[in-house]
Structure 1
Amino acid sequence: MTSPDPFRVIFVCTGNICRSPMAEVVFRELAKQRGLDSHIVSRSAGTGDWHLGERADHRTIDSLSRHGYDGSAHRARQFTAANFAENDLVVALDRTHERILREWAHDEDNEGKVILLLTFDPEASTHDVPDPYYAGEDMFDSVLGMIETATQGLFNQLEPALRFPRTPPISGARSGGLP
């Protein structure tokens, strides 16, 4: 059964060329593998405007490709206030992004949509997915591994609800999982 109103998730990092495109692609692939791709819209954006319209960093694309994903179609976007209304969940890749997004939220409903990705990895030793931009290929692969694990945790929490008709958007998720 195809939901007429898919669940919309946006992943947010700094410039939308490294971490958030990885999360967008991984989440979309999880949905496809589970037969729920018509139930989910996965997007990404950056808090800054430095890379608008650019492809993902070539090291991001290479890392994704080495692990069986295709990130070649990505073009960088900047998060805007409209993204709160357009998405059910706003997933920050680190605490700086989380803070910025909460400041940009104009009400409790929007603020309640913001959550850190790594809260979905019970084994994570940090709350922040490190920015690999100034590092080498190995760091991109390491970051992708972190994103895969946490994204799987997020997807596992959302999947039961995605198999049934949509309910009102989730809000108030703050402490390591969705209510």
Structure 2
Amino acid sequence: MTRPEPAGDAAQPFRVSFVCTGNICRSPMAEVVLRSLAERSGLEHALAIESAATGDWHVGERADQRTIDALARAGYDGSRHRARQFDPSEFPALDLVVAFDRGQARILRNWAARIIDQHKVRLLLEFEPELATLQDVPDPYYSDEATFDRVLGMIERSTQALFRQLAPALRQGIR
């Protein structure tokens, strides 16, 4: 992974924002999974993790119940999530902005005022070589419970791969 330029001094945590369409399915899953990985590794203070949406349809709402249920079946708690819309003015403070499909990545890059911020936008599946060719994490919103579980599995694998790339630098205090 090419490291984005840090957003501030080395004492600040590495800031990651997961962004999907409505911030009620995919991005809350990734936020919860990455936060859990950081906590289990004792690196929760080295990472600032958030999620957001490209659209404003669900601002203030909880995650979709199927998301909460899929997370619970996998041992995670997604009950505290509240949806919000991504604010392009946040780009300078972020180190990495992770999209779930090419459409979201295109929107985010168009919102970025600076080239350096455009380069912060990455697709989640890029981090897991075995899934990278798929490019897009399917949106489970119009699907069934099994699809939510399958999507969570893809998100877990890719988020774990992302964490494996970040963890050595985080342990050394390098951003």
TM norm structure 1: 0.90
Q: Which residue of 1 aligns with 2:161?
A: 153
Q: Which residue of 2 aligns with 1:37?
A: 44
Q: Which residue of 2 aligns with 1:134?
A: 142
Matches of 2:122 and 2:21, distance apart in 1: 15
The within-5 A match list for 1:22-171 is 22-124=29-131, 125-167=133-175
Displacement of 1:25: 0.4
Runs of 4+ more than 6 Å apart: none
- What is the DSSP-based 3-state SS (H/G/I as helix, E as strand, rest coil) of the residue aligned with 1:23? helix
Matches of 1:165 and 1:121, distance apart in 2: 24
TM norm structure 2: 0.92
In the alignment, structure 1 segments of 5+ residues that lack a partner are 168-179
- What is the DSSP-based 3-state SS (H/G/I as helix, E as strand, rest coil) of the residue aligned with 1:8? strand
CA contact (8 A) 1:54 1:76 kept: yes
Identity value in percent? 62
Displacement of 1:166: 3.7
CA contact (8 A) 1:52 1:75 kept: yes
Matches of 2:151 and 2:41, distance apart in 1: 23
AA aligned to 2:156 is E
Displacement of 1:117: 0.3
Matches of 1:158 and 1:121, distance apart in 2: 13
CA contact (8 A) 1:64 1:71 kept: yes
- 1:48-70 superposed Cα distances (whole Å, 9 cap, x missing partner): 00000000000000000000000
Relative to structure 1, the CA distance from residue 82 to residue 166 in structure 2 (aligned partners, 3 Å threshold; closer, same or farther) is farther
In the alignment, structure 2 segments of 5+ residues that lack a partner are 1-9
AA aligned to 2:22 is G
CA contact (8 A) 1:5 1:166 kept: no
Superposition CA RMSD, Å: 1.0
